[in-house]
Amino acid sequence: MAEGNALDGDAPYVPRQFTVNDRTFPNTSNDPFGYVSIGVGTSCYISIANQGSMDHVLHFHGFHVEVLQASKHPERVGWIKDTMPFLVGEVTVVRLDAFQPGMYPVHNHNLIAVTNAGLYPGGMITHLDIQP
Amino acid sequence: MYRTLLFACSVWCMSHAALSQALPPQLFSEMDGIHFLDDGSSVPIWGYGWVTDGYITLPGPLLTYNEGQAVDLNFTNPSPESHTIHLHGLDVDQANDGVPATSFLVPTNGDAVYSFVADQSGTFLYHCHVTTTLHLTMGMYGMILVKRPDQTLFDGGPAYSEDVPLLFSDLEVATNLDPVGSFPFHDIRPDVFMINGISGSKLEEEDQMVWAAPGDTLALRLGSMAYSRVRCHFPPELHATCFMSDGRALPEAFAVDSLDVFPGERFTVLVAPEEGFDGVVSCEFWNMIDPGVEDVQEIRFGATPSSVGSAEPFLLKQGYPNPADQWHAPGGIEGGFAGEVVVRDLQGRECFRGYLEGGRFDVSSWPEGAYVARCGNLPPTRFMVTH
C-alpha cells in the first residue's frame, strides 16, 4: 500500500498479530485487563468472544471449564473441556472452578496465533492467576 | 567386501553411571531424528522416545496409565536444546505443567520427573512447550491414555473391547528441513497431514488398519496436535457414538456422523462396526486460516478375527535418530564388551542377540542401513552398516 500498489483481493489471508482484549502477549499478562485473577477455591465466569476473522481454539492449562453458553455450539452446553473452539463471531461463557493455586497459561492452540509478527511467544496467550 | 563392526569399551563404560538410575521407564528427547513420508522421502524431526529403545518417533510413544495412578514420568534431555513435557489436559499443578516461564526447563543433559495423579480416565496429550509453535511442528508430541481396569470408558460408562489411539498431526516440510530459518512462525502452512504419524498409502497397510471382530466395540481415541481442523466422517455402518471429550464424560452421549477435532481437542468415539464392514473413516484436514480442505486421510477398517491386528500404531518404528552423526563405522572401532548384545533394525526387528567374539562381530551379510545395539541396561548405541 505504501508503494501505491493495488489491493489484491485474491491474496491469501496472512494474519500476523493475534490479540486477547486488544493486547498481545506479554502485554496480556502485564495488564489486569488482560488476564484472569481469582482466589483459589472460588469460581468465576469467563466470557469469550471471537471478533477475529478466523476460527480460534483456546486451551486452559491446569483446569477444565464448564461450557455454560456457546452461541455456535449449543450442543456443547454442559461439556467439561480444557480445549475448545471459537468460531468466527462465536460468543461463549465458561465457568472456572479454581481448585489449585498458581499461574496457568491460557492460549490459542492453533500455534501460529501465539506469535507476534512471527515471533514466539506472543499473540493469543494470557494466564490464570489463582491466588493462594 | 568385508566389514566388521567393533564396540568401543569406553563409550559403553562412560555412560554406565548415568544409566544406573534410569531403570524406570524414562522418556528422552532428541533433535536428530528422521521421518519417512508416504512418497519415500524423509524429513528431519525432533521428538520423544523411550531411553530403553534409543530412538525417537513421530508421534512420541503412547503413554498409558491407570485411573487414579500416581505417576512419576521420568524425562532426560540429551539433545542440544532445552525441552519440556506439557501434560495437555491432565490439570497438573504449576510445578509439573511443563511451561518454561511458570514451571521449569529441562536443559541439555538435564533430567526431570513430572509428578501427577491421573485421576480421570480419558484421552490426553503431551508435547514440548518450548517455542511451542516450532517444537510441535518438528514432532515433539504424543498421546496419553488413562484407562480403567474394568475396561469401561468412565465410572458408570460403557464397556468396550479395545482402544484405538488416533492422533492427528501435520507438518510443513520446508520448516522441518530448515527449522532455524523457519521464521516467521505465523507462516507455517502444513503440507503433510498424518494419522499416528503416517499418511496416504501407508495407512492402508495391514498393521495400520483397524480390525474389528463381530460384536467388538472399539474406543476410537481421537486427538489432534495438528495446525488444521480435522473433520472426521463416520459411515453409518460403524454406529459411532461420542461419549467423551477432553478426558471427561459428556452429559449426554450422541450419535455422530461427522465430528470436528480442533488443535488440542480430544474425543472418545465408540464404534460397533456391522459384521463384515470394510470401509473408512475419512478425515479432512481443514486450513484454519483460509478455510478449505487441504488433504483427506482415511482410517481403514477391516473385518477379521480379533487376534489379528492389535491396534498398536505407535509401536511402528519409523522416526529414527540420524545414525550418521552417531557411529558410522566403516573401518571398525577398537574395543570390546563382555555382556550380551541385542541389535535391532529400523523396524525394531531383532537382528542379533549374543556375545561379541574378540570385541567384534561380522555384519558383512547384513543389509545396509541403521541399527541400534543394546547391551544390558547400558544406553543404546546406534550404528550404520555400509558395504
Cβ atoms of residues B266 and B123 within 8 Å: yes
| Mode of pairing for the β-strands spanning B360-362 and B141-147 | unpaired
| Mode of pairing for the β-strands spanning B258-261 and B248-255 | unpaired
| Mode of pairing for the β-strands spanning B320-321 and B218-224 | unpaired
Smallest CA-to-CA distance from A66 within A89, A86, A90, A46 is with: A46
Q: In A, which residues are within 8 Å of B137 by CB distance?
A: 111
- Give pLDDT, residue B327: 39
d(CA B385, CA B85): 34
Smallest CA-to-CA distance from B54 within B386, B387, B385, B377 is with: B377
Nearest CB among A80, A85, A111 relative to B132 is that of A111
pLDDT for B91-124, tens place per residue?
Answer: 999 999 999 999 999 999 999 999 999 999 999 9
d(CA B169, CA B109): 28
- Give pLDDT, residue B357: 63
Smallest CA-to-CA distance from A28 within A105, A118, A117, A113 is with: A105
Residue A41, C-beta contacts closer than 8 angstroms, at least 6 positions apart = A98, A99
Distance from CA of A112 to the nearest CA of B (A): 4
First to last CA, chain A: 51
**Cis amide leading into B61 (omega within 30):** no
pLDDT averaged over consecutive 10-residue blocks of chain A (132 residues)? 68 89 94 94 96 95 97 96 96 97 97 93 96 96
Residue B262 lies in a domain: yes
CB contact under 8 A, A117 and B186: yes
Smallest CA-to-CA distance from B128 within B188, B179, B173, B87 is with: B87
Residue A88, C-beta contacts closer than 8 angstroms, at least 6 positions apart = A50, A52, A53, A54, A55
CB contact under 8 A, A13 and B290: yes
C-alpha cell at B348: 525394531
Average pLDDT, chain B: 82
Cβ atoms of residues B117 and B71 within 8 Å: yes
Nearest CB among B86, B94, B288 relative to A103 is that of B94
Confidence band for B39, pLDDT divided at 50, 70 and 90:
confident
Cβ atoms of residues B360 and B5 within 8 Å: yes
Q: What is the DSSP letter of B367?
A: P
- Give pLDDT, residue B335: 40
- Give pLDDT, residue A2: 52
Residue B175 lies in a domain: yes
Query: CATH number, domain at B190?
Result: 2.60.40.420
| Domains of chain A and any CATH numbers | 27-131 (2.60.40.420)
Residue B168 lies in a domain: yes
Interface test with B, best of A65, A111, A116 (most B CBs within 10 A): A111
Distance from CA of B298 to the nearest CA of A (A): 23
Interface test with A, best of B102, B245, B262 (most A CBs within 10 A): B262
Amino acid at B298: E
Percentage of chain B exceeding pLDDT 70:
78
Q: Is the pLDDT of residue B314 over 70?
A: no
Q: Which segments of B83-218 does DSSP mark as H helices, in order? A: 132-137, 173-177
- Count A/B contacts: CB-CB distance under 8 Å: 135
d(CA B24, CA B86): 20
- Name the more confident of B246 and B202: B246
Residue B252 lies in a domain: yes
Mean pLDDT of B268-272: 97
Closest-CA residue of chain B to A118: B184
d(CA B32, CA A114): 26
Closest-CA residue of chain A to B137: A111
d(CA B107, CA A31): 31
Cβ atoms of residues B72 and B117 within 8 Å: no
Helices and strands, number each (H, E), in chain B: 4, 27
Cβ atoms of residues B326 and B333 within 8 Å: no
Residue B257 lies in a domain: yes
Q: Is the pLDDT of residue B218 over 50?
A: yes
Residue B125 lies in a domain: no
- Give pLDDT, residue B22: 35
- Give pLDDT, residue B379: 57
Question: Domain limits at B177?
Answer: 162-314
How many structural domains is chain B composed of? 1
Distance from CA of B58 to the nearest CA of A (A): 18
pLDDT for B235-259, tens place per residue?
Answer: 999 999 999 999 999 999 999 999 9
Q: In A, which residues are within 8 Å of B94 by CB distance?
A: 62, 100-104
- Give pLDDT, residue B161: 93
- Distances, alpha carbon A52 to alpha carbons A16, A37, A126, B289, B379, in Å: 12, 24, 17, 11, 50
CB contact under 8 A, B89 and A13: no
State the pTM of this model. Answer: 0.81
Smallest CA-to-CA distance from B35 within B123, B114, B138 is with: B138
Residue B372 lies in a domain: no
Mean pLDDT of B22-27: 69
Interface of A with B (CB under 8 A): 12-16, 54-55, 57, 59, 61-64, 75, 78-85, 100-105, 109-115, 117-121, 127
Q: Is the pLDDT of residue B10 over 60?
A: no
CA B183 to chain centre: 26
| Adjacent-strand bridge partners of B215 | none
d(CA A14, CA B84): 30
Smallest CA-to-CA distance from B243 within B220, B223, B210 is with: B220
Q: Is the pLDDT of residue B299 over 80?
A: yes
d(CA B259, CA B233): 7
Q: Is the pLDDT of residue B79 over 70?
A: yes
d(CA B386, CA B383): 10
C-alpha cell at B14: 562412560
Q: Is B222 left (phi over 0), alpha (psi -120 to 50) or beta?
A: beta
Q: Is the pLDDT of residue B261 over 80?
A: yes
Smallest CA-to-CA distance from B80 within B153, B43, B130, B9 is with: B130
Name the 3-class secondary structure at A75: helix
- Give pLDDT, residue B61: 92
d(CA B79, CA B101): 20
Count of C-beta atoms within a 10 Å radius of residue A27: 17
Mean pLDDT of B296-321: 54
Percentage of chain B exceeding pLDDT 90:
58
d(CA B319, CA B316): 9
Torsions phi, psi for B75 (to 5 deg) = -140, 135
Q: In A, which residues are within 8 Å of B183 by CB distance?
A: 118-119
Distance from CA of B341 to the nearest CA of A (A): 43
Cβ atoms of residues B142 and B60 within 8 Å: yes
Residue B10 lies in a domain: no
d(CA A27, CA A45): 22
- Give pLDDT, residue B11: 33
CB contact under 8 A, A112 and B94: no
CB contact under 8 A, B91 and A82: yes
| Mode of pairing for the β-strands spanning B26-36 and B63-66 | unpaired
- Give pLDDT, residue A46: 96
Confidence band for B377, pLDDT divided at 50, 70 and 90:
low
